Amino acid sequence: MSKANADKWFSWAVRAAAGWKCQKCGASFEPPTRVLQCSHLFSRVHNVTRFHPDNAFAHCASCHAWLESRPPEFAAWATDFMGAEKYEALRRYHNRVARFRKSDYATIAAHYKNEYNRITEQEYGFNHPQKLENHPVVTESNDD
C-alpha cells in the first residue's frame, strides 16, 4: 500500500470523527465531499505527526485556506481547541524524525480504514466505506 492510501484513510477517519463538520466554523457536510478537508497543524512533511490524530482537523475549504495562510492564528486556534498542554506536547513532538517503509504505510492505512469503519458503524449504524471506496472523491488524495 502507498502513502497516498494511508493519507486517504487517515483523512476519512479524521473527517468522520469530526462528524463531517468543520471544527472551526461548524458547517456540516455530507460525504463524500472535497469541501471538508483534513487539515494538518504541522505540515505533512513531518512524518512523525503526519498521521497523528492530534495534528489533524476537519476544516471546510475556506477555514482550511484561512488557517493555513495564517500560521500564528492556526496555532492559537489549535491551542484553544485542544488545550495548551496538548498543543505544546505536539509542537515538541513534531520535531522528531520518523521514516516509514512501504509496509508501515500499509499498516497505517489498515488502521485508519478500520477506525473509519468503526466510527461510521457506531455513528451511522452502517459500514460506509464499501459504498464510498471507489468514488472519485475518495480515491483522490489531495488533502493537505
Could you give the CA distance from residue 22 to residue 36 in angstroms, rounded to a whole number? 7
Q: How far is CA 24 from CA 7, 11, 15, 16, 139, in A?
A: 21, 17, 13, 15, 26
Q: What percent of the chain has pLDDT over 70?
A: 85
Task: Please give the tally of structural domains in the chain.
Answer: 1
Q: Lowest mean pLDDT: which of 44-48, 64-68, 124-128? A: 124-128
Q: Is the pLDDT of residue 124 over 80?
A: no
Assigned domain for 57 exists: yes
Residue entry with cell 516509514: 100
Assigned domain for 127 exists: yes
Assigned domain for 144 exists: no
Phi and psi at 140, nearest 5°, equal: -80, 140
Range of the domain at 11: 3-139
Mean pLDDT of 14-25: 96
Mean pLDDT over each residue of the chain, to the nearest integer: 88
Confidence label for 134 from pLDDT (cuts 50, 70 and 90)? very low
pLDDT for 120 equals: 87
Assigned domain for 11 exists: yes
Q: How far is CA 117 from CA 55, 113, 124, 125, 143, in A?
A: 21, 6, 10, 10, 20
Assigned domain for 94 exists: yes
